[in-house]
Amino acid sequence: MFKRSSPENRGGGEIIKSIDVFGHIAFDYICRVRNLPEANRSSRITEMGRFFGGGAANVSAVIASLGGKARLFSVAGDDFISSGYASHLSSLGVDISNVRILNGMSAHAFIFNSSGGDQITFFYWGVSERMREMEIPEDLECVHIATGDAEINRRIASSADFLSF
């Protein structure tokens, strides 16, 4: 549990039961290349990994790993379950009961890092295109908004008691 403190009450405060996290669940493909190619050219990938990603899912995982309670609000494709991602988050203690599973693919990020330190990212939204259809609960107390749909983020921000982003 976390405590919400105020300037008048440093170190004390109300107990926050959980942090509600809104935003993407994604699969990240992180690649290393010698150099980023110019237009109409290619570059050899020297290393590549696939990782569980998405800002909201990652923030929820960190909260749970630190002993906090996180409720994840997002949309994901059926690959969220078949990949083991849902099980992974649950095993960390993340409450995924508010993740809406839709037919199709979850978001995917393709991140290319050059040996010179440059980076380029491509993002496929997948079923996250439908994130704005999510229902927002009325009991939002402490909310973190990660990257996601601007319209749903605006609605969440106007109904949360405490907000971070």
What pTM, to 2 d.p., does this model score?
Answer: 0.85
Domain that includes residue 42, residue range: 24-147
Q: Tens digit of pLDDT per residue, the chain (165 long)?
A: 344 444 444 455 555 678 999 999 999 999 999 999 999 999 999 999 999 999 999 999 999 999 999 999 999 999 999 999 999 999 999 999 999 999 999 999 999 999 999 999 999 999 999 998 988 888 788 999 998 888 888 888 888 888 888
116 located within any domain: yes
Pairing mode, strands 95-102 and 70-77: parallel
CATH number of the domain to which 129 belongs? 3.40.1190.20
Q: How far is CA 45 from CA 36, 114, 116, 117, in A?
A: 10, 9, 14, 15
| Domain-located, residue 17 | no
For 19-31, b where at least 16 C-beta lie within 10 A, e where not — what string?
A: bbbbbbbbbbbbb
Judge whether 23 and 72 are in contact, CB under 8 Å: no
113 part of a folded domain: yes
Let me know if residue 14 belongs to a domain.
Answer: no
> Considering the domain boundaries, does residue 16 fall inside one?
no
Distance CA 127, CA 64 (A): 25
Q: How many domains does one find in the chain?
A: 1
